[in-house]
Every structure is written in structure tokens, then in C-alpha cells.
A and B are shown apart, each in its own frame.
Chain A
Amino acid sequence: MVDDTLSFLLIAIVTGGGISSVFTISSSIAAKTNHPGMLLPVLTFPLIVPLLLIGVKASKKATDGLGFMTSFPDVLILLLMNILIVVLGVLLVKFIWKE
């Protein structure tokens, strides 16, 4: 059972947001190549590993009920990475879709 439901939810939202924004960019890159189905997991997996590792560690802390302050640095880093990925994605997506 999850002890600290609120911070678990927060971590889940932040990690999920990061993973989905990485997938948005890398799938738009993969869609333009010759083998999109094969290339998508290869391009995306290494990019989501840092998000997954930090997210899993933080949600473990939330599950054990160690309090929000223990997982706060992880949430902060996840948020910063989210901002980085979204900003890069917004800046780069017009170069991917330009024909």
C-alpha cells in the first residue's frame, strides 16, 4: 500500500509527463525515418532511463511513507528535466516536421 498518496501522485504525474514528452519528440523523429516501428524504442529507451530511475526511487520513498521532504529533491530534478525536455521539444519540433 502507498503510505503517502499525495506525493506519490505528484511523482507519478511528473514522471509520466516527462516520459510522454520524450516520447512525443522521439516518435516524431522516428516517424520521419524509413523504419519508424523499429527505431522508436531504440531512440526512446535510453532517453527515458534517467526519468524512470529517479521516478522509481522517489515513488519508493513515497510508498514507504518517508515524508514529502525526502523525495522533494527528486521531484525538483524531475521537474527541471521536464522543463528542459518541453522547451527543447517546442524549439525543435518545427525542424522535424518541415518538409
Chain B
Amino acid sequence: MAKIPYKWYKILAILLLGYTLIYGLLIPLPADVGMLDETIRNLFYHVPMWFGMMIILMIAWIYSILYLQNQNPKHEIIARALTFTGILMGLCGLFTGMFWGYNTWGSPWTNDPKLNGVAVGMTMYAGYWLIQKSVDDGEKKARLASVYNIFIFPLFIALIFVMPKLAKFSIHPGSGESVNFKTYNKTNNMEMVFYPAIIGWTLFFVWIAEIRARYEILKQRKENEKLFA
């Protein structure tokens, strides 16, 4: 059940990531990218991480709802694997963003609404991890963690999408009244790498989540066998 029956998505992920990694470095830049210069190539790593994180956390949210609806323990295992992968993806996005910020703004962390929103959002998901660690009973743990996951996802969305829009001054692109990538991208050839990069990275992390979920299910089965042997 946790195994995705389509093998081709792994091949697609490898092909798209290979294309992103190679052509992302070769692609000619738009004529005027201002102070961003060559660092604009980080667009193919930093931004897809956040897009993919949103997609993966959303699937995890749906699986948490499914678990509460029909109490199938496999749904909870899938939701947990997807949420942890989403957190990993968020951390990757955070670190690529810090490299980018270090090279363009001069500091890895600025007191910006978007950055602080994401930091608080990651703390929310740290709470999800803490619930997993501080309840012994398996069924109760699954129930509480699912409830918390359903509860935090809309607030997380509010925190990272609504809050930066409300803030008037932000140096992070895409929030408040700051610059957008539409401002720079005159020739549109960066979008030819950008959209495949989103799909590629998302599929790659779905692959990680799938392996994780299958491992957890096998571990559960082993424990059950030991219990009834």
C-alpha cells in the first residue's frame, strides 16, 4: 500500500534532476539580473524545495485526515514519513536560502517576515516530532500526532503565505512590495529549467518518503510477528 505502483516516476525524477543539475548550470542568464548575478541559478534549488515541501506536507495532511476517518495504521505511517520528509525538505530550503542570502544580502539570516515565519513554522513541525517521541501507546500516538498535523498545516500556510503578504517591507522576493522574479526574467528561458526542477525535486523527495514508509511498515510487521510468535 505504501509502495507506489508506478516505477516510472523514479526514472522521471532522475531524468528531470539530471536535466536540472546540468542544464541549470549551462543555461544563459537573462541580460539584467542586477546584483543577483550568477547566484540566480540557486532559483533551481531553493524555490523548488519550498514548492515541494508544500506539496508533500499537503499530501501528509490528507493522509492524516484519512487516518482519523478509517483508523488504518498504514495511513498514519505514510503521513508520518511524508511529514518528516517535508521537514527535511524545509531544512534543505532553509540552508540553500541561507547560502543565497549570505552571497547577496551579506548575511545568512535577516530579520525578515518570511524568514521568521518559516522558522516558527519549522518549530510547529518540531512539535509534531516531539508528540511522536513523548507518547508510548502506539494507537494514541498516531491519533494525537494526526490531530496535531491536521491542526498545524492551515496555520503553517497562514504563517508563510499570509503573514509576508501583510508585511509592507521585506527584502525576500515574492512578499510585500519587494521584487518578483517576473521583474528579471525577460527571456523566459529560466522557466524551462525552473518548472522541471520543481517536479524533479518533489518526485525525488516523494521517493525518499516512500522508502521511509515501507521501512516503517516492515518494522511494524516484524514487531507484530515477534509479539505473536
Contact = CB atoms under 8 A, between A and B. Distances in A.
Interface residues of A, number: 30
Contacts of A73: 166
A20 to B, nearest CB: 15
Given A35-B134, A46-B121, A77-B166, A29 B148 contact: yes
Interface in A16-37: 25-26, 29, 32-35
A81 B151 CA distance: 12
Contacts of A85: 155
A96 B123 contact: no
Interface in A38-67: 39, 42-43, 45-47, 49-50, 53-54, 57
A33 B134 contact: yes
A92 interface: yes
A92 B147 contact: yes
A46 B127 contact: yes
B154 A34 contact: no
Contacts of B150: 88, 92
**Residue of B117, B144, B146, B150 ringed by the most chain A CB atoms within 10 A:** B144
A39 B162 contact: no
Contacts of B144: 29, 32-33, 96
B134 A46 contact: no
Contacts, number: 78
Contacts of A39: 127, 130-131, 134
Contact of A92 (B123, B136, B151): B151
Given A29-B148, A32-B144, A53-B163, A95 B131 contact: no
Given A95-B147, A98-B143, A88 B154 contact: yes
- At the interface, is chain B mostly helix, strand, loop or mixed? helix
Contacts of A95: 68, 143, 146-147
- At the interface, is chain A mostly helix, strand, loop or mixed? helix
Contact of A46 (B68, B124, B140): B124
A43 B163 contact: no
Interface in B96-138: 117, 120-121, 123-124, 126-127, 130-131, 134-136
19 contacts: A25-B151, A32-B135, A32-B144, A33-B144, A34-B135, A39-B134, A42-B130, A43-B127, A46-B120, A47-B124, A47-B151, A50-B155, A53-B163, A77-B166, A81-B155, A84-B158, A89-B151, A92-B68, A96-B143
Interface of B: 68, 117, 120-121, 123-124, 126-127, 130-131, 134-136, 140, 143-144, 146-148, 150-152, 154-155, 158-159, 162-163, 166
